[in-house]
Homo-oligomer: A and B are copies of this chain.
Amino acid sequence: MIPLRIGVMGLGTVGAGVFQVLERNSGEIARRTGRGLQVTQVSRRNLDAARELVGDRATVVADPHAIATSPDIDVVVELIGGTTLARDLVLLALRHGKHVVTANKALLAVHGEEIFGEARRLGLTVSFEAAVAGGIPVIKMLREGLSANRISWLAGIINGTTNFILTEMRDRGLPFADVLQEAQRLGYAEADPTFDIEGVDAAHKLALMGAIAFGMPVQFDSVYVEGITALHSQDIRYAGQMGYRIKLLGIARRRDDAGGVELRVHPTLVPEKCLMASVEGAMNAVMVQGDAVGTTLHYGKGAGSEPTASAVVADLVDIARLASAAPEHRVPSLSFQPDALQNLRVLSIDEVVTAFYLRLVVADRSGVLADITRILAAHDISLDAVRQRESSHGEQQTDLVVLTHETIESALRAALKDIQALPSVLQPVVALRKEELA
């Protein structure tokens, strides 16, 4: 069989990884696939740098449009990034009859509906294993491995930068700003880290996983997003003393009782005995709860040249196998058949149900705790644990840490308003969500 002819648009770190993995493991991959996979064209603005990498083994062009429209390419790998040029190129490539593999979560989170729709109309595949959790095959696991299950929830550490920062904040007791600076120096955070630290990157990935898990359109705009920039190392310490670690989780949960789904990204307390708590540094992990399988967890590197290339190439292998088969033999991009997607409502954050960690700086006098518990009770919120800590702010102050049982967020917000109005509550209350992941 003739080799699959691959065009890589954007020969940066990941593109180079794809080229190198396909070259280094060509024998192994051909043994698996029964067909060669060959990068025949690459694009990069810096032609010399590209030629240095690929030599005369692939054609080098400066303009990726040439690849998207080339008659000699079967699949394009889009690694340009961003949502403007990448969108144009992907649509152009599809209209020229090419399957598409992309690592671009932002593109699919924002323009997924249009891109998947166009691919479907043309009987082509858009694959994106590399867009979520790097080398861990979570997309395949959700779309195929767990296809017997009704998924009830999934929770992921799906941004390595923030997990690295949180790990360092905990291990070394340093404030967010210091650790961020170090992460930038080490290359774990970008010069402009906004997308990572504000949770946007995780929200992109969560929107994709949620769509696949529940069979709904990609709804990035409806994801509730809260980053880690406001997190105090003090809360990481207090959480640790109560047996919890704080992780930035992307959570998708089916809420049949409310006729919708929760899609949310925020710092979350998780029990330190849970495997998720042990996912350290820049590693990623995704937990999935299905009705038949129970809980599964999938762990690995969420970024980097070759881990991401591993996912891109796995998609290419699938395409090499199925490119000439009829579309009905392929797994649908969003896991469910296009005409079977449901317009599930994404709940507002007010409707979300979780437990909470609260930290209050209060005046050190009697009756304060009684006032607070009375207010929580009035809003139907019950207490799981209370701890008093010496405050670093002054002798007349005390830190009060409260763990609540599960409550609807609107009730918690109403209670916090009342608590904040107490004269003995001296600073804005810190409220973090807590999940048992069981």
Chain A: residues with CB nearer than 8 A to chain B?
Answer: 1, 17, 21-22, 24-25, 28-34, 129, 135-137, 140-141, 143-150, 215, 275, 278, 290-301, 304, 306-307, 309-314, 316-318, 321-322, 324-326, 328-332, 335-337, 340
Contact = CB atoms under 8 A, between A and B. Distances in A.
7 contacts: A28-B149, A135-B293, A136-B296, A137-B146, A146-B314, A275-B299, A296-B301
Contacts of A150: 24-25, 28
A321 B294 CA distance: 25
B25 A292 contact: yes
Contact of A329 (B31, B32, B295, B321): B321
Given A144-B314, A294-B301, 18 more contacts: A21-B292, A24-B291, A25-B149, A28-B150, A31-B215, A32-B147, A32-B340, A33-B337, A34-B340, A135-B296, A140-B141, A146-B314, A148-B310, A148-B314, A291-B306, A293-B310, A296-B301, A321-B329
Contacts of A34: 328, 332, 337, 340
B335 A32 contact: yes
A133 to B, nearest CB: 10
A1 to B, nearest CB: 8
Closest 6 CB pairs of A and B: A137-B145, A148-B313, A296-B300, A135-B293, A31-B340, A293-B310
Contacts of A215: 28, 31-32
A144 B291 CA distance: 24
B299 A148 contact: no
A310 B149 contact: yes
A24 B152 CA distance: 14
A324 B325 CA distance: 10
Contact of A294 (B143, B147, B307, B322): B307
B144 A140 contact: yes
A432 to B, nearest CB: 24
Given A21-B148, A32-B215, A322-B329, A310 B298 contact: no
Contact of A31 (B306, B331, B336): B336
A322 to B, nearest CB: 6
Given A145-B140, A147-B32, A328-B34, A292 B310 contact: yes
A365 B295 CA distance: 53
B301 A298 contact: no
Contacts of A129: 145
B318 A144 contact: yes
A209 to B, nearest CB: 15
Nearest to A137: B145
